[in-house]
Amino acid sequence: MNAVQDARPQYLLALGQLEKLFATITPADLDRPTPCTEFTLRGLLNHVVGGIHRFAYMGEGGRAADILPGIEDPSDEGWTDALARASARATAAWADDAKLARPTFAPWGEVPGGMVVGGYVMEATTHAWDIARSLDNGFVLDDALAHTALGVAQAVLPPESRVEGVPFGTVQPVAEDADVHTRLAAFTGRAV
């Protein structure tokens, strides 16, 4: 596999973090605004679970462009089950080590599967921050995951690449002593 790194363990940790975070959500929270200004919390949960299904679909050999990153909303109490189903599908789809080197058709082009996994670590970890921010319930996010996701973001999302159509805004200012979660959010274009 040479230069293809295996970020599947970090992805599983990111899924676990999302599962714990989803467990704190109540139906009364679903209309809250989020740092992803185009989404309420309900819309963001739909996007997150749908994104996991899209990631699984790519692991199964599909092209990202064939599937939207969204799902049909479950009942207001069904988000943890929807996440569990998507997580199980993604875990199974990417279980084969050979998929890390296999050309994969991601939203950003054809790349080795290992790069897709890294991108989705960034996606899941950044959206965990968005959800935690929306809930504002004291949920403690994993620093190591945020460091991994920030490293991925800095490698694949240089500030000069933020053009129309890229789902990441310009890098936002952040205090020098900001925690890693805030730095990740700012780097991916969130106002912090």
Percentages of the chain per state (helix, strand, coil), in multiples of 5: 55, 5, 40
Q: Within 10 Å of residue 28's Cβ, how many Cβ atoms?
A: 8
What three-state secondary structure class fits 109?
strand
Can you give the pTM of this predicted structure? Answer: 0.92
Domain 8-160 grouped into CATH 3.90.550.10 = no
> Burial level of 38, CB count in 10 A (0-12/13-18/19+)?
exposed
Question: What pLDDT score was predicted for residue 180?
Answer: 97
**C-alpha torsion sign, points 177, 40, 45, 110:** negative
User: What does the pLDDT look like over 85-133, one tens digit per residue?
Assistant: 999 999 999 999 999 999 999 988 899 999 999 999 999 999 999 999 9
Please list the pLDDT of the chain residue by residue as tens digits (192 residues): 334 589 999 999 999 999 999 999 999 999 999 998 889 999 999 999 999 999 999 999 999 999 988 888 888 889 999 999 999 999 999 999 999 999 999 988 899 999 999 999 999 999 999 999 999 999 999 999 999 999 999 988 777 776 665 567 788 899 999 999 999 999 998 988
